[in-house]
Amino acid sequence: MPSRQYATFEVDDQLFGVDVAQVQEVLRFHEYTRVPLAPTSVGGLFNLRGQVIAAVDLRVRLGLPGRDLAEPAMNVIVSVEDEWVSLLVDRIGEVIELDDEAFEPPPDTLHGAFRDLIVGTFKLEGRLMLALDARRAVETAAVDTDQGNLARTS
């Protein structure tokens, strides 16, 4: 039976998973360089072995209040369109193998921001894992237009 491995992590007590093949590495980091005028979902930039990586605050992308970046945060570094981008998450979980059969489309009850970033759900023992669309999750230009306009008029 075809199955897939997912790297899991939590944001706001919700379990998310991304295809392991997309994940480059996971690390804890502090010292982000803030980017004034950037969309709020861009938490900051940091140096990963000589590469400048943009960290996207998944909380903001999910419509939650942003993270305090003065404290260390967990980074899930995903490769999207040949670029490495970090997703800032609360806690990192296990890598789990799931049968493709267990996959279900996102439930209708999922609202706005969640709905846009989720490709589907998996029922695990006692909890639900949301399969995240990494490509959409790191899209920061499309949202936060209010902020962008503010920046331009200031």
Partner 1 sequence: MEELGEIIQEFLVESHENLDQLDRDLVALEQDPGSREMLSSIFRTIHTIKGTSGFLAFHRLETLTHAGESLLSRLRDGAQELTPESTDALLRMVDTVRTLLSTIEETNGEGDVDVDSVIAMVTACIEDPAAPKAAPAEAPSEASAETEPASGKPARKPAAKRTTTRAATKRTTKAAAAKAEPEPEPENAQMPEPAQVETPPLETALPAAAAPGALPTADETGGQPGGTRRSIAESSIRVDVDLLDALMRLVGELVLTRNQIMRGVGGGSDPTLVRTTQRLNLITSELQESVMKTRMQPIEHIWSKLPRVVRDLSSTLGKQVRLVMEGKETELDRSLLEAVKDPLTHLVRNAVDHGVETPEERAAAGKSAEGTLTLRAYHEGGHVIVEITDDGAGIDPTQIAETALTRGVATREQLARMDNREIFALLFQPGFSTAKKVTNVSGRGVGMDVVKTNIEQIGGAVDVDSAVGKGTTWRLTIPLTLAIIQALTVECGEETYAIPQVGVDELVFVDGQSGQIEHVSGAPVYRLRGKLLPLVRLDETLGLPARNSDRDVYIAVLQADGRRFGLVVDRVLNTEEIVVKPLTGRLKDVGVYAGATILGDGKVALILDIPSLARRSHLAAEAVERAEMDQVETRAAEGRIERLLIAGMGDRRVAIPLDMVTRLEEFAVDRIERVGAREVVQYRSQILPVIRLASLLGVYDTEPDGDTVPAVVYTERGRSVALVVQQIVDIVEDHIEARSDLDDDGLTGSAVIQQRVTELLDVRRAILAADPRFYAEMPDTMVGA
Residues lying near partner 1 in the complex (CB under 8 A) are found at 31, 33-39, 42, 44-47, 50-52, 54, 83, 85, 138-141, 148, 150-152, 154
Give 1 or 70: the residue with its C-beta nearer to partner 1: 70
CA geometry: angle 9, 11, 13, nearest 5 deg: 95
CB of 71 to partner 1, least distance (A): 15
Give 3 or 33: the residue with its C-beta nearer to partner 1: 33
Residues 53, 38: Cα–Cα separation, whole Å: 14
Residues 8, 20: Cα–Cα separation, whole Å: 9
Give 8 or 86: the residue with its C-beta nearer to partner 1: 86
CB of 20 to partner 1, least distance (A): 23
CB of 134 to partner 1, least distance (A): 14
Residues 62, 78: Cα–Cα separation, whole Å: 17
Total residue count of the chain as it appears in this document: 154
* Neighbouring C-beta atoms of residue 81, cutoff 10 Å: 7
